[in-house]
């Protein structure tokens, strides 16, 4: 069952990650500027991620996790099938918002399903699969667009839906037995426990969102193709597949404070190196390492959150994956609306924000 949860997470995050690598394509097709695109993507990401809290509270009380997971993923793939038909900003808005909303619904129920055995390695496997899906997506979709055409994306999505339906036969019958043990959360006793995780994930969301949005735009500005920009994103996220799992191993042998400190220190250093070192090869290497350290804390934060609220796993997961990401994206959206046409300033700000948060976190959180 753990591998099934990982499979569905791979698919959900794979199709959800098609948008950012195609930023230059959508910017040109919709006749908008970098600032508008980046601000819009961050705002929609924040709004839809915010709903994870509601989804988490809802799914904690339901038993048919397997059925919900299947329906959500199929609907998400179905919506992506229409990306090739986008001819107006309104349609772009509707499709992106709906896709992101479905992806937000998937994460708390999917993470709850993955964490049903209360084993960190199962949550790590779930998280790593999502990272892998989002990691290979940029290279895949940019290559597919150049080779087949985005307007024919349904040649890929229809067989994918059939595959999901076949695999879902093993997960649909599943029913959890913990729905009746869910208890009402208190703000002081429960939710405040998650504040350090919220702070870390919020800042990571802001920084990663900035880099993942602007890397394809930056590569395009220096004359590289969409495929090259997508390949750079994919390389960084593939390293994140390894570091994501490694972070959980480090967490189980040490503590959350050390794990988060390692991840954030690496993010801050390599983010600054990307900005200040002019050599393009070194910039690419710096981004790849920035991404690797970014993913280092991802699954470990989910594990930590679920351990703090063992009877409300979906809700805990919604904080560590959804609400925190939402606030980070809201901040990025507003920031992009003001400074979004200055690529390097955006990336410099993201790197500095990481180091400031690390300083606050180390001073205020006990080991």
pLDDT in tens, 289-302: 999 999 999 888 87
pLDDT of 310 higher than 90: no
Cα(203)–Cα(356) distance, rounded to whole angstroms? 10
CB 123 within 8 A of CB 248: yes
Compute the C-alpha angle 324/23/41, nearest 5°: 30
What average pLDDT does the structure give for the chain?
87
- The whole-number average pLDDT for the span 75-103 is 93
> What is residue 127's predicted lDDT score, i.e. its pLDDT?
81
What mean pLDDT do residues 251-256 have?
90
Longest Cα pair distance anywhere in the chain, in angstroms? 58
- pLDDT at 326 exceeding the cut of 60: yes
Answer whether residue 329 shows pLDDT above 60.
yes
Q: How confident is the model at residue 227 (pLDDT cuts 50, 70, 90)?
A: confident
Give residue-wise pLDDT tens across range 108-155: 888 777 766 655 577 778 888 888 898 889 889 999 999 999 999 999
The two tokens of residue 348 are: 């410099």
Q: Is the pLDDT of residue 333 over 90?
A: no
Record the pTM.
0.75
pLDDT confidence of 191, banded at 50, 70, 90? Answer: low
pLDDT in tens, 170-182: 888 877 665 444 4
Q: What is the model's pLDDT at position 354?
A: 97
- Domain annotation for the chain: domains and CATH numbers: 2-177+186-364 (1.20.1250.20)
Non-local (6+) Cβ contacts of 136 within 8 A are 14, 234, 237, 238
């Amino acid at each position: 069952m753990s591998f099934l949860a990982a499979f569905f997470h791979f698919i959900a995050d794979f199709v959800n990650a098609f948008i950012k690598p195609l930023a230059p394509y959508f910017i040109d097709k919709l006749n908008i500027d970098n600032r508008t695109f980046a601000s819009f993507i961050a705002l929609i990401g924040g709004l839809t991620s915010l709903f994870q809290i509601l989804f988490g509270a809802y799914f904690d009380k339901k038993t048919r996790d397997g059925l919900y997971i299947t329906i959500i993923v199929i609907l998400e793939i179905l919506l992506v099938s229409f990306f090739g038909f986008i001819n107006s900003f309104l349609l772009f808005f509707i499709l992106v918002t709906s896709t992101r909303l479905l992806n937000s619904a998937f994460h708390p129920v999917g993470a709850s399903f993955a964490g049903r055995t209360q084993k960190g390695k199962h949550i790590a496997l779930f998280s790593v699969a999502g990272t892998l899906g989002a990691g290979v997506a940029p290279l895949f979709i940019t290559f597919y667009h150049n080779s087949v055409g985005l307007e024919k994306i349904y040649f890929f999505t229809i067989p994918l839906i059939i595959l999901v339906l076949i695999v879902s036969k093993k997960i649909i019958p599943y029913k959890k037995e913990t729905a009746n043990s869910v208890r009402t959360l208190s703000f002081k006793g429960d939710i405040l426990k998650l504040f350090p995780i919220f702070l870390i994930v919020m800042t990571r969301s802001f920084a990663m969102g900035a880099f993942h949005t602007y890397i394809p735009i930056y590569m395009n500005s220096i004359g590289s193709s969409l495929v090259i920009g997508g390949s750079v994103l994919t390389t960084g996220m593939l390293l994140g597949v390894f570091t994501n799992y490694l972070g959980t191993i480090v967490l189980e042998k040490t503590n959350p404070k050390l794990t988060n400190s390692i991840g954030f220190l690496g993010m801050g250093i390599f983010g600054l190196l990307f900005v200040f070192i002019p050599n393009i090869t070194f910039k690419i290497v710096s981004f790849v390492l920035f991404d690797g350290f970014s993913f280092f804390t991802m699954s470990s934060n989910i594990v930590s959150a679920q351990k703090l609220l063992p009877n409300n796993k979906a809700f805990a997961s919604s904080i560590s994956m959804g609400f925190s990401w939402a606030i980070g994206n809201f901040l990025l959206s507003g920031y992009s609306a003001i400074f979004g046409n200055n690529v390097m300033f955006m990336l410099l700000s993201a790197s500095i924000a990481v180091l400031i948060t690390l300083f606050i976190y180390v001073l205020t959180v006990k080991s």
